[in-house]
Structures are given as structure tokens and as C-alpha cells.
């Protein structure tokens, strides 16, 4: 195997990743192409990814938590995650080891670990993710919030079929405590490769790569570097849209009160339901971490109030007609 080094930077949170698999390194670079950085002499966080068929956990560990994803153990300021014998992570200070036996599960684990630790740092600095997609045209931003499986990805990729539409984020736009919107673009993903080829006919099929998930079906990914759309967020008033499914023949868009605007920010922003985050890695060790997480919650609540004051809220009742859904959003952009 050929070793590879990847440097990423998320709002001044530098991560240095050492990998023993060149293909995994290539996919990681595609996943986070917008955040690739020059070599960092003093990274704030390091990740070492290595295959080890003989690895075994220490015999003295007692589980502190268990989920569908993994079993958590804590001992002597080290935190262990056991992904049921397929892979393990060991956190000590600002360094994490990702040891694996099955390469097929590592891409997903590494992707979520990177988002979890960088996301927690960003939260602590007042840069908060919202579970939504975001796009821009000239001076107008739209942040579209929808429940998981609500059709958000379909609408987002439909919008990007126009190269004039700019990318803010496919899944997690970032909002600062002042209410400013920042881009946070990651790779695009679909469960059907042909969907990507139809919406972006100018791309080469070889640019699409696979993402094998542990508990869900395989996805096909495309780096944002392969798209003609630019990454940009305007510094001004943003329109936040809550998308809900309906049986309407035509979609309906309506502006909502500040109170209702705040209500639909609670699950999608303050709580962050649906954010791509590994809960096991978000919670670290002891009372100090509990205090940090409490501060993050309060910061998110404060930022939500700023967003409601500074921006506008809408509800979009979608129809089954994708073209009409896109048309309504284009009108809002104009």
C-alpha cells in the first residue's frame, strides 16, 4: 500500500490525516476538495488511518455506551470506539487512530469522524451548521430545510443543473453568530449514478466514485470540483425556506411570521436533527465536555434568534412536479 497525507482546514481548524491506502486518500480529497490546505506544521488535530488485522482492544475495558454504530469504552483519558470488529478509533488528546480490518467501512467512518471533530470546533467558535442545502444567485441566498428523505438532494441537484446557480452547501450551510451565511460544500451524492449523469451531462463518468455505507445502500459521489457551478454566499439578507411535501399539483410558497420562522429553526438548526455527525465522537470525556456542549447549545439558540431578526422565513409546499418546484425557487432567487 502507498501511504498518503491529506491536509484539511475548516475555519482555522487544521486536520492532518495519514492514510495507508491511496484510494481512500483520493476519495477523502474529493469529499473535502473545498477544504484542502497546504501542509500544516502544527495541526490542531491529527488522524492516523492504518490496517491491522491483529489489533485487539485492551482486556480491561468496560463499555460506557453502545449504539447501532459502535461500542464506546473510556479508560485513562483514552476513548475507544469499536465498530463491531470491522474498525476501531482511539482518541487521546488531539490525536485519533483509526484502525481497520475491513476497508469497505473505513471511508464512511473517516468521513463522519472528520465532520464531527471539525464541526465541534466550529460550534465552539460560533460557526454553526444548519441541516439544509444552500444555493445562491448573485446577491440572493436560499437555505432550504427539509426532513431527511424529504427530497432536498433532488431539488438541490435540479437547481445546480443551471451553471449560473452558485453552491453554498449540499447538506450543511454554516451560520455565524452575526447571522452571516458561509459556504460549506461537500461532495454530491445520489443512489443512482444515472441521476448525476443526467443532471450534469458534461461530466465524465469516471469522475463519479462509490461510497459504501455500513447500514444504508451504496451512494455514487461527485466532487464539487467536477461541476461548473461556483462556490459563493452573498453577504446580505438570506431567505430560509422550510420545504414540506404535499399532494398539490402546483407548489405553493408563502412567507411566515418571525415566530413560525423560529419554530422551524429549532429542529433543523438549534438541535441539528439530521446533521452528518457521529454522536459517539461529539461527546468526549467528563464534565468539561458537558459544559462545552451546553455552551454550544446556547450559542446555537442565540444565533437562531439573530437569524430570525436578520433574515426571512418561508414555507414551500412542494408538488410532484420537479420543474415547478424549481421554478418557484428561481422566482424567490430573483
Q: pLDDT (tens digit, 9 = 90+) per residue, 107-162? A: 999 999 999 999 999 999 999 999 999 999 999 999 999 987 767 888 999 999 99
Burial class (CB in 10 A: 0-12, 13-18, 19+), 263: middle
Q: Which three cell numbers stand for residue 103?
A: 476497508
- b vs e for 233-250, b when ≥16 Cβ sit within 10 Å of the residue's Cβ? bbeeebbbbbbeeeeeee
Mean pLDDT of 304-328: 94
Q: 53: buried, middle or exposed (CB in 10 Å: 19+, 13-18, 0-12)?
A: exposed
Residue where the block lists cell 444555493: 135
β pairing state of 71-75 and 78-82: antiparallel
Span 7-29, average pLDDT: 96
DSSP state of 229: P
Assessment of whether the complete model's pTM goes beyond 0.85: yes
Per the listing, cell 453552491 goes with 167
φ/ψ region of 126 (left if φ > 0, alpha if ψ in -120 to 50, else beta) reads: left
- The x, y and z cell numbers of residue 230, run together, are 461556483
Q: What is the DSSP string of 199-221?
A: H-TTS-GGG-EEE--SSS--EEE
Question: Which residue, 70, 264, 8, 31, is CA-closest to 170?
Answer: 31
| Enclosing H/E stretch for 100 | strand 95-100
For 17, counting Cβ atoms within 10 Å of its Cβ (0-12 exposed, 13-18 middle, 19+ buried), the class is buried
For residues 224-236, average pLDDT: 95
Model pLDDT, residue 239 = 97
**Is 326 a residue whose pLDDT tops 70?**
yes
User: Once rounded to an integer, what is the mean pLDDT over residues 160-165?
Assistant: 94
User: pLDDT at position 283, please?
Assistant: 59
Read off the pLDDT of each residue in 236-251 and give the average, rounded to a whole number.
93
Q: What pLDDT, in 10s, does the model give residues 252-270?
A: 999 999 999 999 999 999 8
Least confident of 130-139, 189-198, 272-281: 272-281
| Mean pLDDT value across residues 61-87 | 92
Distance CA 200, CA 221 (A): 13
Question: Is the model's pLDDT at 1 over the cut of 50?
Answer: no
Beta pairing, strands 71-75 & 95-100: unpaired
Is residue 181 predicted with pLDDT exceeding 60? yes
- Tell me the pLDDT band of 302, cut-offs 50, 70 and 90: very high
Smallest CA-to-CA distance from 195 within 216, 170, 212, 220 is with 220
Residue 252's alpha-carbon distances to 30, 155, 331, in angstroms, are 37, 15, 12
Q: Under a CB-based contact definition with an 8 Å cutoff, are residues 45 and 124 in contact? A: no
Alpha helices in 9-168 (DSSP H): 22-31, 106-124, 152-160
Mean pLDDT (the chain) is 91
Question: Which H helix or E strand runs over 304?
Answer: helix 286-310
Cα 43–Cα 45–Cα 124 angle in degrees, nearest 5: 105
Amino acid at each position: 500500500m502507498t501511504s498518503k497525507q491529506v491536509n484539511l482546514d475548516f475555519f482555522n481548524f487544521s486536520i492532518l490525516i495519514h492514510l495507508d491506502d491511496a484510494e481512500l486518500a483520493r476519495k477523502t480529497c474529493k469529499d473535502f476538495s473545498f477544504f484542502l490546505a497546504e501542509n500544516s506544521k502544527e495541526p490542531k488535530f491529527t488522524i492516523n488511518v492504518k490496517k491491522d488485522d491483529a489489533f485487539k482492544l485492551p482486556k480491561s475495558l468496560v463499555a460506557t455506551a453502545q449504539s447501532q454504530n459502535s461500542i464506546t469504552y473510556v479508560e485513562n483519558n483514552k476513548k475507544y470506539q469499536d465498530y463491531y470488529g470491522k474498525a476501531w478509533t482511539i482518541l487521546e488528546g488531539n490525536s485519533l487512530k483509526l484502525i481497520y480490518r475491513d476497508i469497505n467501512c473505513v471511508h464512511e467512518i473517516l468521513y463522519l469522524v472528520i465532520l464531527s471533530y471539525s464541526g465541534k470546533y466550529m460550534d465552539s467558535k460560533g460557526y454553526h451548521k444548519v441541516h439544509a442545502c444552500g444555493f445562491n444567485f448573485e446577491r440572493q441566498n436560499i437555505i432550504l430545510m427539509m426532513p431527511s428523505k424529504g427530497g432536498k438532494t433532488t431539488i438541490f441537484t435540479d437547481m445546480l443543473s443551471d451553471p449560473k446557480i452558485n453552491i453554498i452547501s449540499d447538506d450543511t450551510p454554516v451560520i455565524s453568530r452575526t447571522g452571516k451565511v458561509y459556504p460549506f460544500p461537500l461532495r454530491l451524492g445520489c443512489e443512482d449514478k444515472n441521476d448525476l449523469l443526467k443532471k450534469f451531462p458534461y461530466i465524465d463518468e469516471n469522475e463519479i466514485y462509490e461510497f459504501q455505507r455500513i447500514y444504508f445502500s451504496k451512494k455514487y459521489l461527485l466532487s464539487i470540483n467536477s461541476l461548473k457551478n461556483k462556490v459563493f454566499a452573498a453577504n446580505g439578507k438570506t431567505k430560509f425556506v422550510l420545504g414540506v411535501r404535499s399532494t398539490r399539483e402546483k407548489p405553493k410558497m408563502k412567507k411566515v411570521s418571525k415566530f413560525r420562522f423560529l419554530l422551524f429553526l429549532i429542529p433543523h438548526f438549534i438541535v441539528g436533527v439530521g446533521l452528518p455527525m457521529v454522536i459517539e465522537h461529539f461527546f468526549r470525556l467528563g464534565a468539561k465536555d458537558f459544559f462545552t456542549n451546553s455552551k454550544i447549545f446556547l450559542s446555537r439558540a442565540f444565533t437562531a434568534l439573530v437569524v430570525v431578526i436578520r433574515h426571512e422565513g418561508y414555507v414551500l409546499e412542494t408538488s410532484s412536479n420537479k420543474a415547478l418546484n424549481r421554478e418557484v425557487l428561481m422566482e424567490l432567487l430573483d
